[in-house]
Amino acid sequence: MPFLCCAAAEVKNSPEGSKEIPKPANGRPWKHDESGIQFPQKLGSLTMEGGHRYEDPALGVTVRYLNEDGRVRAAIYVYPCKQPHGSEEEKLKVTSDEAGAALGEIKGMETQGTYSKVEIGEGASWKVPTAPNENEKTVFVEVPLSYELHETKGETKISTPVRSRMGVTVVGNYIVKVRYTYPADLKEEGEAESVKWVKKVRMALSEPYLRTVAEEALKKYRQDPLSEEGAAAAGGVVLYADQSPFVSLTIPAEILQWSEACNQVAPDDRMPLLQAYIAGGTEASLKDQYGDEVVEAAMASTADFYKRLKKKHAALKVEDLEKLVEAVEAKKGVDFFRKLDSIAKLKQVN
């Protein structure tokens, strides 16, 4: 089983009998070609560091994630499902069986001395849409656990109290198993982050469905961004952007200042300028664009909304937005974005 071969996400390098998988170029998501399942390189507070594919096809592939200080690790395992899994009952049985097998492996590692004081918490299950059709759902089983990890470094034996969260589901003809592991001294903060991270995994698996909803909302928004229907649709786009791990937008603080200036002439407490920015960036993300392409689209959408608003309110004139329109028309929206004070300061901090 991949779970056992990887020593439950504590392994940092590819094990024997496998080939290293590099991170995709240009920040693009990693895609499991056989199933179409995708995961972004930035998932919650963790960043993808690579993965490996086993020579034995039955063991599938593993993708590894790591936080900034290296104390929190996670892994996603994708491998063929050999049991019947057509109905909801069968999916629940498959995921429950796989979770039980994984927990059995962990108890086995306790017997071997790799782990001790293994405690398994109360599990939970979720129904997750994994296809454009909302009715096509799978079952996602989630279980928290804790234990002590025993390692030997040189002649020194080290015991580390660890907590972990495991998730198991079946998507298409493949089992997806995830494991988020963190030091027990992170306590409630670590627990909360583990819950958020596994939820991000579920959202990534739901992307085929969420994407169709977002695309429909964008279509309605683009028909008339200034209308009530457009504003309502924009709210749906913003919700998707907030939930989807595949959308990553840096929102400049200046957007809020520009919105306040616009409100002096065209009052609207729904922050339509911010909605326009998010809609543009989200639309680019849905077209599988990344980096500067997303920024350019977000700035262009903001400029377009401002121009539409000016046609409706002749007295409206915001100097920075006038410059943004000029920059976008000259295809220099990214340059304009980078020169904004809030973005320049953000880069200095990073």
Q: CATH number of the domain that 13 lies in?
A: 3.40.1000.10
Place of tokens 């700035």: 299
Do 294 and 145 sit in the same domain of this protein?
A: no
Number of domains in the chain: 2
Do 47 and 165 sit in the same domain of this protein?
A: yes
Helix (H, G, I), strand (E, B) or coil at 182: strand
Do 164 and 19 sit in the same domain of this protein?
A: yes
- Could you list the residue range(s) of the whole structural domain that residue 258 is in? 210-349
Phi, psi of 315 (to 5 degrees): -80, -10
Do 82 and 159 sit in the same domain of this protein?
A: yes
Work out the angle at residue 285's Cα, subtended by the Cα atoms of residues 344 and 230, and round it to the nearest 5 degrees: 95
Predicted confidence at residue 264, as pLDDT, reads 94
Predicted confidence at residue 57, as pLDDT, reads 93
Do 193 and 243 sit in the same domain of this protein?
A: no
Give the number of other CB atoms < 10 A from CB of residue 301: 26
Q: 182, 205, 228 — which closes off a domain?
A: 205
Predicted confidence at residue 270, as pLDDT, reads 86
Going from the first residue of the chain to its last (350 residues), give the mean pLDDT of each consecutive group of 10, the final group possibly shorter: 44 69 89 94 94 94 96 97 89 93 92 94 94 89 96 88 97 96 95 96 96 97 96 96 93 95 92 96 94 96 97 96 98 96 66
Do 167 and 216 sit in the same domain of this protein?
A: no
Do 157 and 201 sit in the same domain of this protein?
A: yes
Do 139 and 124 sit in the same domain of this protein?
A: yes
Give the number of other CB atoms < 10 A from CB of residue 212: 16
Do 114 and 52 sit in the same domain of this protein?
A: yes
Predicted confidence at residue 118, as pLDDT, reads 95
Give the number of other CB atoms < 10 A from CB of residue 304: 17
Predicted confidence at residue 14, as pLDDT, reads 60
Do 191 and 230 sit in the same domain of this protein?
A: no
Predicted confidence at residue 13, as pLDDT, reads 56
Distance CA 175, CA 228 (A): 43
Predicted confidence at residue 88, as pLDDT, reads 86
Do 330 and 256 sit in the same domain of this protein?
A: yes
Predicted confidence at residue 324, as pLDDT, reads 98
Give the number of other CB atoms < 10 A from CB of residue 264: 10
Distance CA 3, CA 9 (A): 8
- pTM (two decimals): 0.86
Do 157 and 287 sit in the same domain of this protein?
A: no
Predicted confidence at residue 18, as pLDDT, reads 82
Q: 139, 171, 205 — which closes off a domain?
A: 205
Q: 205, 229, 250 — which closes off a domain?
A: 205
Distance CA 170, CA 35 (A): 11
